[in-house]
Structure 1
Amino acid sequence: MDNRSYFRNEILRIEGLQITQYSTYPVFILLFLAYLFIMVSNLGIVMMIAMEKALHKPMYLLFCNLPVNDALSATVVLPGLLKDILAESDRYISYAACVIQAFGVHSLSTSAHTILIIMALDRYVAICNPLRYNTVMTNKMVVRLSVIAWVTATVPIVIILAPTVRLSHCTSTISNPYCDNPSLFKLSCENLSVNQIFGLITSVMLWTTSISCISLTYLKIAHVCLKNQNSTLKSKAIKTCSTHLIVYLILLGCSCTVIILHRFSDYEELRKLASILIYVIPTSLNPVIYGLQTKEIRHWIEQIFLRRKVIPR
């Protein structure tokens, strides 16, 4: 039997978090509430933008990609983890399903960066070329940018996973709470230098592209604001860009932490915790940050609560 066809049917064991018997239910409740908040807040914002015609603007339509991505990211990881915690046992998964989960984990993580890049582009056009904004940011352009953001996040992950899938295995234990590329190629006892270097180069290229695009956009926006003495323009730039920048820095910080900890086996438990928090912290903070900082979204939420407080006569 071909070695690769055998491993397609192999059953892998996923190591969960090392949780004591007394902390099982508190941890389960905290993660469940976090997942519930992530889904309600992110999907709620998407529904809000879809239902409110006043929010049918390029800025908000492009932003819709982010809460959709956050909801999908949390769903790929957290439900399986919650099930494992409640069952108080290790999780077993087929190799094919593990590869699919790894693809979802990495492609959604990458798409978070590409989505924030196209959102930065939208802010650049709105602030630096306001007279051309409606001409440039048409509905067709919004769809095109959204498709580019998702596709460019998917293709590199296929290239990254391809060498990993071809490796032979000497163990069937995933040393992570969920499947990802580093955990998959660590199943092999072959020389993994090529996989590690390839993964590191790909991560660095993603970071470099992401940081360069965001930095260049903000430098151009800052140049326009400093050159123009219009206080209204400066206020608009600070308000819209600060929200975007906070979300981006949170994502970048969490991503860097997980990737760095993957290179140090001495901090395995800390890495496992960080690899879970990356699907809790950004995905739960993003809707809060945008909801509180964006005037239109905040006003729409306030109107909903005010309507509920009105008692019909």
Structure 2
Amino acid sequence: MNYLHGSNKHAIEWGNATQVTEFILLGLSLFPNVSVSFLLIVVIYVFTAAGNVLILTLVFSDQRLHSPMYFFLCNLSILDICFISTTAPKMLHGYLKGGKTISVPGCLTQSYSFFLLGVANFLLLAVMSFDRYIAICYPLHYSGIMHQKQCIKLIVVVWAGAFFSILDLSIKIMRLPFCSSLVNHFFCDVIPLLRNSCISTADIHVQEVITSSIILLTSLFVTLASYLNIVRTILKIQSAEGRYKTFSTCSSHAFVVSLAYGSSIFTYIKPSQGQVKDYNKKVSLLTTMIVPLLNPYIYTLRNEKVKAILKEKLKGKICGK
């Protein structure tokens, strides 16, 4: 309640209600000891950034990785760094004394950035699935179809699609007046923001659900269609060694896709009565921090080509010393 009283001095009158000018993020207590929670998020953040920077460094520094697959992987690494950076710094700040408050413009910016990057992530995964489909099902035409200009066009489509698909919804949310300062989350997610509005947001909530569902299902459809054709092509290969080599070219991406869509499924699963507390926040922690953390290590640990180049560079540095 002290937070609520403290936020009144940062409020303005709106009609008969008090419109807040800053929010208080209630956060998420991972452990009873705040220091342990703080340290865990720091470790996740550092390892996520380090893993993705490693991928970017390897791809940019080695000519053998200058192909469409690794071009898209670089974009995924950049997305993951940006994605976790929208939530982790503010979450860490929230563990500090007086770090729970965030201005309304800052909160809306965080919410928009999170939504934009999340949509772009799923669209990019669909594009990467299409790339693997062309590479495995039409190997002779691959270089002609997935040339440099085409790859750049697909990335532009990803960002343009993400931007325009959420533009109208984001404008409506940014125009809302807010009368409650408490946000029961560790970042400014859309649903908690809608609950804090001074006016009814039922239509905006429906639009948000429809928009998210269309994006997710469209991306999922492209991904499943691509992998169904990939599996069908692999099964036609006579030798077991040939099937293994072919599947290994997309196994890392398949794991990343499974992780991304698998974590999203939890958003739509209703917990039992005893698990309701902090359920949405725990699911959000999985999608905003754990998935970006695991992605680069899946590619370095499961991708034979990346592993070979990494070992070669490490060996070269050791021998150089």
1:219 equivalenced with 2:215 (yes/no): no
Q: Deviations over 1:122-166 (max 9, x none)?
A: 111111111111111111111111111122122222222222233
TM-score, with length taken from structure 2: 0.87
CA contact (8 A) 2:252 2:298 kept: yes
Q: State the AA in 1 paired with 2:221.
A: S
TM-score, with length taken from structure 1: 0.89
2:292 to 283, 292, 303: 283
2:186 aligns to what SS in structure 1? Answer: coil
Aligned alpha-carbon RMSD (Å): 2.7
Q: State the AA in 2 paired with 1:57.
A: S
Aligned residue in 2 for 1:76: 86
CA distance in 2, matches of 1:169, 1:218: 45
Give me the identity figure in percent: 26
Aligned residue in 2 for 1:43: 53
Distance 1:89 1:266, change over 3 A: farther
CA distance in 2, matches of 1:202, 1:266: 28
CA distance in 1, matches of 2:213, 2:274: 20
CA contact (8 A) 1:168 1:190 kept: yes
Q: How many Å apart are 1:69 and its aligned residue? A: 0.5
CA distance in 2, matches of 1:98, 1:105: 11
2:249 aligns to what SS in structure 1? Answer: helix
Deviates more, 1:200-209 or 1:271-280: 271-280
CA distance in 2, matches of 1:192, 1:265: 28
Deviates more, 1:11-20 or 1:283-292: 11-20
CA distance in 1, matches of 2:235, 2:294: 30
Aligned residue in 2 for 1:66: 76
Q: State the AA in 2 paired with 1:303.
A: E
CA contact (8 A) 1:9 1:94 kept: no
Q: How many Å apart are 1:47 and its aligned residue? A: 1.6
2:200 to 178, 184, 191: 191
Aligned residue in 2 for 1:237: 246
Aligned residue in 1 for 2:113: 104
Aligned residue in 1 for 2:5: none
CA distance in 1, matches of 2:299, 2:120: 18
CA distance in 2, matches of 1:189, 1:171: 8
Q: Deviations over 1:273-312 (max 9, x none)?
A: 3212322211111111111121221112112322343375
CA distance in 1, matches of 2:118, 2:85: 13
CA contact (8 A) 1:28 1:82 kept: yes
Q: State the AA in 1 paired with 2:74.
A: C
Q: State the AA in 1 paired with 2:193.
A: L
Write the mapping of 1:1-313 to structure 2, written as runs, cut at 5 A: 10-18=21-29, 23-85=33-95, 87-89=96-98, 91-229=100-238, 231=240, 233-258=242-267, 260=269, 267-310=276-319, 312=321
1:171 aligns to what SS in structure 2? Answer: coil
CA contact (8 A) 1:69 1:108 kept: yes
Q: State the AA in 1 paired with 2:76.
A: L
CA distance in 1, matches of 2:73, 2:56: 9
CA distance in 2, matches of 1:19, 1:128: 45
Q: State the AA in 2 paired with 1:81.
A: M
Q: Deviations over 1:229-284 (max 9, x none)?
A: 3656522332133321221121112223245569x997242222321232221111
Residue-pair matches, total: 308
**Structure 1: runs of 5 or more not aligned:** none
CA distance in 1, matches of 2:97, 2:259: 31
